[in-house]
Structure 1
Amino acid sequence: MAKCSQFISVDDLFAASDFKVETPEDFKAIPDDQWDDFIRKNTSYESWNAMLTDAASEWTAKKLGLSGEEE
């Protein structure tokens, strides 16, 4: 999170948004275009999907020992 934004965790990201995100249902209720706009303005990503894709790739590489980073 800290590599792509000013936030330490996804919880910090949610807290900084104007959206109430306490449950999966809360998150699903956020309009995609508004959430993507928040992500674009507050991270180095163009969309939430791009951020998730990158995070999944990094997580997978780390788990497979391909990233050179320790857990």
Structure 2
Amino acid sequence: MGSSARVTEPQPLPWRTTRVVLWGIGLWAVALVVTLAVPALHTGDRSWWPWCCVAGIVLGLLGYSYVRRGRGNASDA
């Protein structure tokens, strides 16, 4: 309780948020291609795996539009 250690504020990351979101969308797209290319990954109990990738892409695009408009930046918070 008696420590006087200062807590430094975290510095922002050197990457643009839009670039990170685009990389995530790209990785979901690669996962979708791999899932569709390998039959064992989209048949039987795994028939929902391609739809998971599609949902990741769609949500990533929604997130990209949100961040692109500037509402995802914490500088105005």
- Shorter-chain TM range is 0.3 to 0.5
Task: Compare the two structures and name the one with the higher helix fraction.
Answer: 2
- Greater RCO (Cα-Cα under 8 Å, separation 6 or more): 2
Higher gyration radius (CA): 2
What TM-score do you get using the length of structure 1 for normalisation?
Answer: 0.37
What TM-score do you get using the length of structure 2 for normalisation?
Answer: 0.34
